């Protein structure tokens, strides 16, 4: 076991994390065979498509990697059992949504996919296998995985003393941000590896050392690694809620949020990153991870700590509701029979992911007020947008910005897609009903230029 030679890697879960992460590993480790498996047949077919624009995940730079590695040392399939059996290291990258019912509903993570993956590994793995937690998980999940892997029910060869089937668990959380995933993976700020035995940590570290400088690889115990991931996301989200709370004060006082962000961000201790005000954070991680932290704090009787972090999430929702209310107030207090164009449906630019996107909540608030909504997003398809709403009435999906703006009373910019800056706003003004409003919740447009065209403009964080 000590001198185990790593040849085969398997990743369970071909999603936003598994796909890009394994592509970067395959690129940098040509001597390893990387098999990405998923229970979803359609998704695997999409990963194997010849038309690379149809990959299930849109990430700048991903197509190039797929072209280079797929079929060489990177494979996508539904052969879960066979690839588990073959693997020296198995990464678990399945989704871990917030529980919808039962104990911890609304806060705790639903670990059913982690559990079923662990059961499959226990059943089909051979020899010694290193199991790596890649998905973000509640602290102490490794304990659960360990129990399942070693239970003789799932692992018929038994645990105690059975040298033919053994496991080590390592936590190696992902820190990639969607939209820049390939770059984040190729040039990470750090790689975090937590484990209980030095040998397994070293074997996982050896993979990353093929392209990451040793000084950037941090090793810790299992629990520190699991907790650090939650805390990193909680701190990042906290910065967004902080700056968003200040955006409201700016609007009331005459200060300008972009100026304030710049003024505070130049202080090295504060730093300038992650100070962009907006309609609130979305994505699959921030909310889920903070709620997880809140659940953990309450579990250990730390109510004040739990309340502190929960506020980061409530300010986020407040910001979204505040923006929809402002739209309603400015459009004379009613949206009945008004048409609004929603520019941007992904939770941030450069991704087709819509999980927890602020556009969803804001749009639902507007629909409740009787608005008709025309959506335009450069990368999110019609089916995906419609899946967020119970009804198709009052919802239209357009394939260009100008089409979405036709006859609209207002345009809401909710995602910071670059192409929105370069739109022909004069043309857009002409096709809209007057007074024509723009609500720029991402502060990406030139307010005075738009006002010169004739628009009424609300820009987040300034009066």
Q: Compare residues 88 and 226 and give the one whose CB is closer to ligand UDX.
A: 226
Identify the sign of the CA torsion 372, 378, 383, 386.
negative
Identify the sign of the CA torsion 414, 420, 421, 425.
negative
> Which segment (153-161, 276-284, 369-377, 424-432) binds ligand UDX by CB under 6 A?
276-284
* Residue 403 Cβ vs ligand UDX, minimum distance, rounded to whole Å: 25
> Which segment (113-121, 195-203, 292-300, 449-457) binds ligand UDX by CB under 6 A?
113-121
- Which residues make Cβ contacts (< 8 Å) with residue 168, sequence separation at least 6? 128, 129, 130, 131, 195, 196, 197, 199, 200
> Which segment (6-14, 62-70, 193-201, 406-414) binds ligand UDX by CB under 6 A?
6-14
- Asked if residue 318 binds ligand UDX (CB under 6 A), the reply is no
Q: Compare residues 14 and 331 and give the one whose CB is closer to ligand UDX.
A: 14
Q: Compare residues 107 and 347 and give the one whose CB is closer to ligand UDX.
A: 347
* Residue 309 Cβ vs ligand UDX, minimum distance, rounded to whole Å: 16
305 to 104, 140, 226, 231: CA distances (angstroms): 17, 19, 18, 13
Q: Of 139-198, which residues contact ligand UDX (CB under 6 A)?
A: 174-178
445 near 418, Cβ under 8 Å? Answer: no
* Residue 278 Cβ vs ligand UDX, minimum distance, rounded to whole Å: 4
- Asked if residue 461 binds ligand UDX (CB under 6 A), the reply is no
Q: How far apart are CA 349 and CA 16, in angstroms?
A: 15
Return left, alpha or beta for 461; rule: phi > 0 is left, psi -120 to 50 is alpha, else beta: left
Q: Compare residues 96 and 155 and give the one whose CB is closer to ligand UDX.
A: 96
Q: Compare residues 274 and 429 and give the one whose CB is closer to ligand UDX.
A: 274
- Asked if residue 257 binds ligand UDX (CB under 6 A), the reply is no
Strand (E) positions, 160-257? 165-171, 191-195, 217-220
Q: Compare residues 27 and 44 and give the one whose CB is closer to ligand UDX.
A: 44
* Residue 435 Cβ vs ligand UDX, minimum distance, rounded to whole Å: 28
- Asked if residue 255 binds ligand UDX (CB under 6 A), the reply is no
- Of 27, 285, 297, 408, the one binding ligand UDX (CB under 6 A) is 285
- Of 23, 129, 136, 459, the one binding ligand UDX (CB under 6 A) is 136
DSSP 52: G
- Asked if residue 322 binds ligand UDX (CB under 6 A), the reply is no
> Which segment (15-23, 206-214, 313-321, 369-377) binds ligand UDX by CB under 6 A?
15-23
**DSSP H/E element including 423:** none
Q: Which two tokens stand for residue 355?
A: 């999980």
Query: If we measure between CA atoms, which residue out of 275, 274, 296 comes closest to residue 136?
Result: 296
Q: Which two tokens stand for residue 429?
A: 């003004």
The verdict on whether 285 is a catalytic residue reads yes
By beta carbon distance, the residue nearest ligand UDX is 15
Any alpha helices (H) in 333-408, and if so which ranges?
Answer: 358-368, 382-386, 401-405
**DSSP H/E element including 288:** helix 286-299
* Residue 1 Cβ vs ligand UDX, minimum distance, rounded to whole Å: 27
Out of 29, 69, 285, 297, pick the active-site residue: 285
Q: Compare residues 344 and 408 and give the one whose CB is closer to ligand UDX.
A: 344
Q: How far apart are CA 21 and CA 15, in angstroms?
A: 10
- Of 225, 233, 316, 324, the one binding ligand UDX (CB under 6 A) is 233
* Residue 35 Cβ vs ligand UDX, minimum distance, rounded to whole Å: 12
- Asked if residue 295 binds ligand UDX (CB under 6 A), the reply is no
Q: How far apart are the first and last CA of the chain?
A: 65
97 near 288, Cβ under 8 Å? Answer: yes
Quickly tell me which residue has 């053994």 as its tokens: 166
Here's the x/- map for ligand UDX, 324-363, by CB under 6 A: it reads as -----------------------xx---------------
Q: Compare residues 181 and 436 and give the one whose CB is closer to ligand UDX.
A: 181
How deeply is 98 buried, as exposed, middle or buried, from its count of CB atoms within 10 A (0-12, 13-18, 19+)? middle
- Which residues make Cβ contacts (< 8 Å) with residue 304, sequence separation at least 6? none
Contacts to ligand UDX by CB under 6 A: 12-18, 38-40, 43, 93-96, 113, 116-117, 135-136, 174-178, 233, 236, 240, 274-276, 278, 281-286, 347-348
- Provide the annotated active-site residues: 285
């Amino acid at each position: 076991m000590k001198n185990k030679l790593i040849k085969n890697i398997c990743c369970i879960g071909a999603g936003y994390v598994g796909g890009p992460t394994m592509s970067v590993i395959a690129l940098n480790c040509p001597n390893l065979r990387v098999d990405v498996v998923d229970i979803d047949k359609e998704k695997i077919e999409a990963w194997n498509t010849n038309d690379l624009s149809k990959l299930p995940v849109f990430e700048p730079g991903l197509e190039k990697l797929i072209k280079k590695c797929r079929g060489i040392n990177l494979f996508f399939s539904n052969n879960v059992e066979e690839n588990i059996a073959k693997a020296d290291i198995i990464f678990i990258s399945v989704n871990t949504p917030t529980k919808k019912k039962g104990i911890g509903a609304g806060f705790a993570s639903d670990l059913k996919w982690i559990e079923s993956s662990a059961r499959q590994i226990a059943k089909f793995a051979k020899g010694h296998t290193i199991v790596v937690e890649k998905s973000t998980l509640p602290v102490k999940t490794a304990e659960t995985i360990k129990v399942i892997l070693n239970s003789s029910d799932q692992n018929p060869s038994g645990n105690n003393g059975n040298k033919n089937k053994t496991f080590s668990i390592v936590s190696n959380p992902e820190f990639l941000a969607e939209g820049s995933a390939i770059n984040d993976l190729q040039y990470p700020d750090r790689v975090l590896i937590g484990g209980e035995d030095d040998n397994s940590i070293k074997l996982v570290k050896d993979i990353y050392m093929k392209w990451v400088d040793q000084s950037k690889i941090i090793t810790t115990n299992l629990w520190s690694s699991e907790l650090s991931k939650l805390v990193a996301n909680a701190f990042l989200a906290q910065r967004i809620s902080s700056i968003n709370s200040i955006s409201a004060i700016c609007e009331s006082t005459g200060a300008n949020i972009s100026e304030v962000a710049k003024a505070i961000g130049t202080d090295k201790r504060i730093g300038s990153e992650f100070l962009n005000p907006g309609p609130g954070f979305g994505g699959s991680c921030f909310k889920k991870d903070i709620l997880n932290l809140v659940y953990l704090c309450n579990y250990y009787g730390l109510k004040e700590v739990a309340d502190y972090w929960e506020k980061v999430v409530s300010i986020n929702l407040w910001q979204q509701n505040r923006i929809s209310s402002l739209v309603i107030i400015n459009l004379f207090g009613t949206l009945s029979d008004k048409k609004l164009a929603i520019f941007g449906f992904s939770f941030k630019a450069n991704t087709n992911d819509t999980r927890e996107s602020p556009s969803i909540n804001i749009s639902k608030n507007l629909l409740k007020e009787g608005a008709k909504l025309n959506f335009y997003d450069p990368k999110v398809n019609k089916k995906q947008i419609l899946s967020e709403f119970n009804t198709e009435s009052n919802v239209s999906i357009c394939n260009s910005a100008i089409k979405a703006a036709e006859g609209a009373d207002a345009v809401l910019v909710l995602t910071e897609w670059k192409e929105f800056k370069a739109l022909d706003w004069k043309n857009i003004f002409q096709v809209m009903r007057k007074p024509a409003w723009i609500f720029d919740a991402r502060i990406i447009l030139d307010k005075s230029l738009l006002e010169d065209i004739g628009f009424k403009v609300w820009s987040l964080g300034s009066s």
